[in-house]
Structure 1
Amino acid sequence: MIVGLFLDAFIFNLIPSYSSAELPTAYIAQSDLLNSTPQLLDDIPALTHFYQGKEKSLYRRTIWIGPSGSFTPFHKDPYMGIYSQIVGRKRFHLLPPAASHYLDLSPIPRHANTSQIPVPVSRILSDGPSSKDLQDLPQGTIQKCKEQLEKAFSIPGACQIDVAAGDSVFIPEGWWHTAEGVDGPGVGVNAWFR
């Protein structure tokens, strides 16, 4: 799909629809657009100050574009990363490596670094009205996820971080993290270093 068409359809809602209830959600996640579209690199320079510390090399840079509510489930990366928000806001939840046994990890070996919790953390831990994302989940599943997440967030170092345009968040190697778009569409880029 051409990026412009994606933006028109899912971010700017410029393609007619019968009702907003029929609008699908789409998310460009972890896309290597930065390498496939070199002109973007001029607008998103490398983080040269990073190299002033310990010797590290840039592993990969990607772009994330999504509407409010788009999310990435809890996962951990083998490298340290820096995520920078360009447009909109995003909420991150970070957990230390010790939280592994609370995150309902995938039994599939190649996805063993990813949680099976099916909705954003904020919707499970919210005391507000039930989210439409939760309507299709059995109440027992919701309660189990809530109890597990409450235990995970009691571990020292666990935190929530909101980033707005111009903000960045450092994600340590091996730390569990999830991200959710809030308050409208968002665009961000990240870089992993090894």
Structure 2
Amino acid sequence: KSASLPSRLLHRSRFYTTSTPSIHAVPILPDASLTTFRDQAFGPAVPFLLPRDSFSSIPAIRTWFHESSERAGHYHLNTAYLRKWGPTVVPLEITNEDGRFAQIHQPLQFFLDACELETKASIYLAQASLSDLPSSLLEDLPTPELVSKAGKGDVYDTSIWLGQAPTYTPLHRDPNPNLFVQLAGKKQVRLFKPDLGNVIFHHVQTSIGGAANASMRGAEMMEGAERTALEQAVWRPSSSAFWASERLQCEVGPGDGLFIPKGWWHSIKGVGQGMIGSVNWWFR
């Protein structure tokens, strides 16, 4: 059974909403120490935000992006810096204007060039494993102490996510605990307890006449009827959807971190304008 969230912590949040039905705020840890993280978040498997700017020292925040001098909070990729790794092949998700979705692999240079063009297609560098990137680039993304020391020190995988706002990751769950860190721009995250997420998933499958396996997710959740139904259930639920009052939400900006326990369902949206970047570590 999922650990419950102390009601007193629901008010200590960086996200606030007056919408109805209510959206509970993800609580914030009182500090970013290893002991606090292990005792209050990792051990009991409860979602928590780390205090603001806990990860602002990550080099990639400064080296990969630069903030617009004209629009605060609007970021651009530092393409001059990243072109050094242009030949590196990375996974890309392309969503055309008509909603058609494709996953391809192209050199990083292709993505950098696309970011400088005006295109109606969405190109998202999604879930690029750090293990596939040059070691010299990895120096910009050192593994946080919380990841290496909170548990067994077993880092299952690490991924980066880069794309122009808006970006979107549909409702899913991870097989391992997840530390999600924002590098540039802002993202909103909605989370549901494991049992509640299962209910939503099966509701969506029933509504579209599907029979997908919740443990094996693929491109089908990124297009067509399933994408539409998932987004509706999570981000625009009807007044009769009982799970609407049980959702958690937060917004993360550069240097912010969110802990997502194993099995907790979540969907993520990049909001605002400009380049959005994130990194996450799945660990045990």
TM-score between the two structures when normalised by the length of structure 2: 0.51
C-alpha displacement of 1:41: 1.3
Q: What residue is the counterpart of 1:163 in the other structure?
A: 252
Give 5+ residue unaligned stretches, structure 1.
126-145
Give ranges in structure 2 of 5+ residues lacking alignment.
Answer: 1-105
Aligned partners of 2:216 and 2:277: how far apart in 1?
27
Partner residue, 1:133? none
Task: Please state if 1:4 is matched with 2:103.
Answer: no
Residue pairs, 1:35-74, within 5 angstroms: 35-74=132-171
How much has 1:108 moved relative to structure 2?
2.8
Deviations 1:82-138 (A, max 9, x none): 11111111111111112221232562337655863437469953xxxxxxxxxxxxx
Between the aligned partners of 1:149 and 1:165, the Cα distance in structure 2 is: 36
- The RMSD of aligned alpha carbons is 2.8
Specify the code of the residue in structure 2 equivalent to 1:192. Answer: W
Q: Which residue, out of 143, 147, 154, partners 2:238? A: 147
State which drifts further: 49-58 or 169-178: 49-58
Larger Rg, first or second structure (1 or 2): 2
Q: How does 1:98-137 map to 2 (within 5 A)?
A: 98-99=195-196, 100-103=198-201, 104-105=204-205, 107-109=211-213, 112=216, 116-118=226-228, 120=231, 124-125=235-236
Aligned residues: 164
**Shift, 1:183, TM fit:** 1.1
Amino acid at match of 1:175: W
Query: TM-score, normalising length from structure 1?
Result: 0.72
Deviations 1:145-175 (A, max 9, x none): x2289422322xx311111010011111000
SS in 2 for 1:55: coil
Q: Structure 1 149/166 Cα, relative in aligned 2: closer, same or farther at 3 Å? A: farther
Greater RCO (CA < 8 Å, at least 6 residues apart): 1
